[in-house]
Amino acid sequence: MNDTLLHLLRAQELEYILSEQQELGDEIGSAGLESSLEALLGELPRDLATLYRRLRQRDLAVVVAERRGICSGCGLSVPTSQISAIRSAVEIQRCQNCGRILYHMEDVPEERPTPAVAGRGRSQVGPARFSSPDLMFPTLEASSRDEAIAELIHGMAELGLTGDEADLLELALERERAAPTAIGNGLAFPHVRGSQARGLTLALGLKEEGIPFGAGAEPARIVFLTVIPTAANTLYLRLLSDLIRIFRDEKAQARLLACEGREDLWRTFTSLTRVVER
């Protein structure tokens, strides 16, 4: 991948983090991210920076992968004649259908069947449709942020819902280092974006005594971990907004924390989030 594409991907990553921090209500962190983003864009050729900003007005995903001859932004085939140019990365290439900037993604893991959760969330509405009883963890064993994230990712990996567990953990921790995902009120929203996701997937973990998530926030007693496919970034922001709105309420938190067992937690979670329809 050439330096210009890497530069564009770094800018896009900052865009994602900025959008997430705005949803999390971190105004101070957002201001710093905005400055860093503008500085990055200022280092690009003017015409490319202008193109990036124009595409960004339409959607968060400006730079997307070509995988097996498919644009991951719109899901349509890339002309065979263009694929070699994308993979050589000598010049910037754009999808002829959606206009997004393309780069080649290598070594994409094969999709695996996940019979244990084949029907997960399909009869649900709102956030619950991205989860299942198997992704409810009423008593996390973790005593630190990193352990909590690792425990939830491991739970997803055991169900075959993600690719390489170690890679996802490192990506999640990189995201925490870039900007914290704890928002106070006993809530934290760690997450990771990447092509290894088998679909937008949400796990919920509880720790009555709380888990230190750093950044001066109070310990998190309710942790939502989300793994986000590249194409679902906008959907994730809506999901994040819904979860924050519902679970900032102390009564909703108390109902979750009072749950006994995985099935009880699932019933309570689906009940609290059923009012949200997308």
Helix (H, G, I), strand (E, B) or coil at 228: strand
Return the CATH number at 13. Answer: 1.10.287.1490
Same domain, 89 and 127: no
Query: With contact defined as beta carbons under 8 Å apart, do 84 and 92 qualify?
Result: no
pLDDT given at position 195: 55
Residue 184 parent element (H or E)? strand 182-184
Where among 104, 136, 169 does a domain terminate? 104
pLDDT given at position 117: 45
Same domain, 141 and 95: no
The total of structural domains in the chain comes to: 2
Query: With contact defined as beta carbons under 8 Å apart, do 160 and 227 qualify?
Result: no
Same domain, 80 and 190: no
Same domain, 159 and 260: yes
* Two tokens, residue 212: 């230190």
Residue 32 parent element (H or E)? helix 27-42
Same domain, 163 and 266: yes
Same domain, 80 and 149: no
With a CB cutoff of 8 Å and minimum separation 6, the contacts of 64 are 71, 72, 73, 95, 100, 101, 102, 103, 230, 231
Q: Residue 160: inside a domain, yes or no? A: yes
pLDDT given at position 112: 41
Return the CATH number at 224. Answer: 3.40.930.10
pLDDT by residue for the chain (278 residues), tens only, comes to 688 888 898 888 888 888 888 887 766 667 777 888 888 899 999 999 999 999 988 887 898 888 889 998 888 999 998 999 998 888 999 999 999 999 887 644 444 433 344 344 455 668 899 999 999 999 999 999 999 999 999 999 898 887 788 988 998 999 898 888 998 889 999 998 865 556 789 999 999 999 998 766 789 999 999 998 866 777 888 899 899 999 999 999 999 999 999 999 999 999 999 865 44
Q: Residue 113: inside a domain, yes or no? A: no
Same domain, 82 and 127: no
Give long-range contacts, CB 8 A cutoff, 24+ apart: 72-76: 72/105, 72/195, 72/230, 72/231, 73/98, 73/100, 73/230, 73/231, 74/98, 74/100, 75/231
Q: Residue 109: inside a domain, yes or no? A: no
Q: Residue 195: inside a domain, yes or no? A: yes
The predicted model scores a pTM of 0.76
Same domain, 69 and 188: no
pLDDT given at position 37: 87
Q: Residue 165: inside a domain, yes or no? A: yes
Q: Residue 110: inside a domain, yes or no? A: no
- Which domain covers residue 215, as residue numbers? 119-273
Where among 75, 104, 133 does a domain terminate? 104
Same domain, 204 and 66: no
Closest CA to 73 of 218, 231, 181, 197: 231
Where among 104, 130, 157 does a domain terminate? 104
Q: How far apart are CA 79 and CA 171, in angstroms?
A: 32
Same domain, 75 and 210: no
Same domain, 36 and 162: no
Q: Residue 111: inside a domain, yes or no? A: no
Q: Residue 114: inside a domain, yes or no? A: no
Same domain, 138 and 266: yes
